[in-house]
Chains A and B, each alone.
Chain A
């Protein structure tokens, strides 16, 4: 296994893998990108596969874990290019269904995707999807930052795949990207969250949803994962964060 993938959870039948493929043309941005794969009994669920530039690498990396034809679902937390721009490639190379907020379905043709028959569009409140023996919950995360945005909770591994929430701006190490010291890590979270997240009210709404779940790990699309006590520390931090429209005077 290469050093760009890390197994986050594995109980023999259910597995969660983190990939860290960056678009090398943008490496200087320090916004390291993570992609995630959930596997249950050999069937795959891919989260935020990213841009066209990393398609080949990610395709090959996933093939090391499952047969590509067993990739059943591909989920886009929101519509950004670093999340969804490779949809056309995945549509051609797999038979997967695509899950996204209903707000973004018609935008997908701008990424060269036309087969709407394969889209499962999520209404604002989200849903629970049965995946093998386990439940995957789509948690509303609207305006954090995209207006149509979802986090995904895997009830088996108890990992919350949080999309841009929890994203940190820092260069990525070769080793496993895990937050060691939350107090130290806060500085990498602050600027991004202040600018990208809608408001404290919205952060609180999401934290309330998250607190109702039994979470062992929060895995964002950028930066490092939060494990164990860092989960609670991050949620508490986000709950108090002043951001977006709270800081409107700084922007206008």
Chain B
């Protein structure tokens, strides 16, 4: 009986038409069906049934076959020409296979042979109601999704296992596709439409662009494509998986050609650096990122240790940028009083060198003095740390020991940056020297004796910073040292979470 209760609940907003020429049967059936459906109308033949249907599109029609004026099969045909979705159940004393086949061809929902018992009928009605509810749900979802799709300015495609299953008008228009079907046929590999451009995402021998986008949902990429008129258009593209439907995802293309940013990437390619000073372009990019609710990454250093976490832009106003990030990153920004902003959508990293405000409760940081910078921690290939505890450094140039104070600014497996009070004569770039460094590892001395070459020199206010690249260094001791030091630094900065 639980099924009947369910039927009563589920069918209460559905309507039914019962067409039967046997008066007694029609009346009895009508009474019974009224217990379940919100509206039940009765008709004594096909003609009367069709008239009623034209006035009122019933959810379910039950009909006899053999009736005066218009038989049941003709009625089925007529109803389907008005509404292809109507569910029709045939109840007939005909036990003829030909008629059964014919009615199946007409697309009826079920065929019941008279006499029909109540259990059988209620079972079929329950199936019909479930079917209708499911269809309604799907249509609602699809309409909802379609509405969302059509109301976006961006070009949107819904992908299922890399195949296009839905596309909005903006997308179809861009390629001059007249239907979704045409888009599906011609868009077998959407990433092949992405054109080659320095700093942009496109598929080539080593990269499948679509896989890259899907691999990093919520990240933004620059792509360019040709439209129906062969015009090259610049987009920011993003992929978003549908919740609980990992095989489905939406690819959105935001057109930004009007910002004329292609030249920014071209200039980067040609190393013309007018972009670096272009604050307007910088904020254009940040607005695009914010509009797409895309992630950015913030980079800071704590005693050489790289501290990186995701962030979202929550506000852009009067040359300031507010981002939301985690406590550890906030703390690192507070210590450094600045941060570096990274995103695939940006032609360069952005340095925000003025800390305006930190709100620990809301997890936000407001920064100003933003500019593009050419250096990026992403290009830093090795982990550098500042040493702790006792250490000593000796520098030999042409076998002569440099006898001023030497400090280690940072050290990695590949190089050490030393701070020198005075620059000895002859310490030119690529010059080979010998270094003897003694660090402390597990309360024992760790000796690093190696040849090294000068990579870079930098003049500070009252000292010089010189980077020496190690040559033929036995690395295992230094790996241990840097690991331990890194662990200690992590503990230190994590400890700040409790402050």
Contact A114 B486 (CB under 8 A): yes
Contact A88 B486 (CB under 8 A): yes
Contact A92 B211 (CB under 8 A): no
What per-residue 1/0 map shows which CB atoms of B236-263 lie under 8 Å from chain A? 0000010000100000000000000000
Chain A: which residue is nearest B481 at the CB level? A92
Chain B interface residue count, CB cutoff 8 Å, equals 35
| Chain A residues whose CB sits within 8 angstroms of the CB of B413 once the complex forms | 92-93
Q: Which of A59, A92, A109 has the most CB of B within 10 A?
A: A92
Taking CB atoms and an 8 Å cut-off, the chain B residues in 363-389 that contact chain A are 377-378, 381-383
Kindly state whether residue B306 has any CB partner on chain A within 8 Å. yes
Contact B306 A109 (CB under 8 A): no
| Chain A residues whose CB sits within 8 angstroms of the CB of B401 once the complex forms | none
| Chain A residues whose CB sits within 8 angstroms of the CB of B277 once the complex forms | none
Which residue from A92, A117, A127 sits with its C-beta under 8 Å from B214? A127
In whole Å, how far is A46's beta carbon from the nearest beta carbon of chain B?
Answer: 16
Contact A117 B377 (CB under 8 A): yes
Kindly state whether residue A91 has any CB partner on chain B within 8 Å. yes
Kindly state whether residue B297 has any CB partner on chain A within 8 Å. yes
| Chain B residues whose CB sits within 8 angstroms of the CB of A172 once the complex forms | none
Contact B306 A117 (CB under 8 A): yes
Taking CB atoms and an 8 Å cut-off, the chain B residues in 465-496 that contact chain A are 475-476, 479-480, 482-484, 486-487, 489-490, 494
Contact A88 B308 (CB under 8 A): no
Which residue from A88, A115, A128 sits with its C-beta under 8 Å from B483? A88
Cα separation A56 to B490 with both chains bound (whole Å): 23
Chain B: which residue is nearest A123 at the CB level? B246
Kindly state whether residue B42 has any CB partner on chain A within 8 Å. no
Contact A117 B208 (CB under 8 A): no
Cα separation A59 to B299 with both chains bound (whole Å): 29
Contact B483 A114 (CB under 8 A): no
Kindly state whether residue B207 has any CB partner on chain A within 8 Å. yes
Chain A: which residue is nearest B480 at the CB level? A89
| Chain B residues whose CB sits within 8 angstroms of the CB of A112 once the complex forms | 483-484, 486-487, 490
| Chain B residues whose CB sits within 8 angstroms of the CB of A127 once the complex forms | 211, 214-215
What per-residue 1/0 map shows which CB atoms of A97-133 lie under 8 Å from chain B? 0000000000001001111110010011101111000
In whole Å, how far is B375's beta carbon from the nearest beta carbon of chain A?
Answer: 15
In whole Å, how far is B52's beta carbon from the nearest beta carbon of chain A?
Answer: 50
Which residue from B307, B309, B483, B494 sits with its C-beta under 8 Å from A92? B483
Cα separation A123 to B486 with both chains bound (whole Å): 28
Contact A89 B305 (CB under 8 A): no
In whole Å, how far is A194's beta carbon from the nearest beta carbon of chain B?
Answer: 31
Cα separation A114 to B246 with both chains bound (whole Å): 29
| Chain B residues whose CB sits within 8 angstroms of the CB of A116 once the complex forms | 308-309
| Chain B residues whose CB sits within 8 angstroms of the CB of A125 once the complex forms | 246
Contact A89 B479 (CB under 8 A): yes
Cα separation A130 to B144 with both chains bound (whole Å): 35
Contact B490 A109 (CB under 8 A): yes
Q: Which of A52, A95, A116 has the most CB of B within 10 A?
A: A116
In whole Å, how far is B83's beta carbon from the nearest beta carbon of chain A?
Answer: 40
Which residue from B305, B381, B412 sits with its C-beta under 8 Å from A114? B305
Contact A114 B215 (CB under 8 A): no
| Chain A residues whose CB sits within 8 angstroms of the CB of B309 once the complex forms | 116
| Chain B residues whose CB sits within 8 angstroms of the CB of A56 once the complex forms | 476
Given contacts A56-B476, A92-B383, contact A114 B490 (CB under 8 A): yes
Contact A109 B383 (CB under 8 A): no
In whole Å, how far is B78's beta carbon from the nearest beta carbon of chain A?
Answer: 48
Cα separation A129 to B216 with both chains bound (whole Å): 12
What per-residue 1/0 map shows which CB atoms of B373-416 lie under 8 Å from chain A? 00001100111000000000000000000000000000011000
Cα separation A129 to B214 with both chains bound (whole Å): 11
Cα separation A105 to B299 with both chains bound (whole Å): 17
Cα separation A123 to B383 with both chains bound (whole Å): 27
| Chain A residues whose CB sits within 8 angstroms of the CB of B305 once the complex forms | 114
7 A-B pairs besides A109-B490, A117-B297 with CB distance below 8 A are A88-B486, A88-B487, A89-B479, A112-B490, A116-B309, A120-B215, A127-B214
27 A-B pairs whose Cβ atoms sit less than 8 Å apart in the complex: A52-B483, A59-B476, A88-B486, A88-B487, A89-B480, A92-B382, A93-B475, A93-B479, A109-B490, A109-B494, A112-B483, A112-B487, A114-B305, A114-B307, A115-B306, A116-B308, A116-B309, A117-B297, A117-B299, A117-B342, A124-B246, A125-B246, A129-B211, A130-B206, A130-B207, A130-B208, A130-B211
A-B CB proximity, top 10 nearest: A112-B487, A125-B246, A117-B308, A88-B483, A92-B482, A92-B383, A116-B308, A115-B306, A95-B381, A109-B490
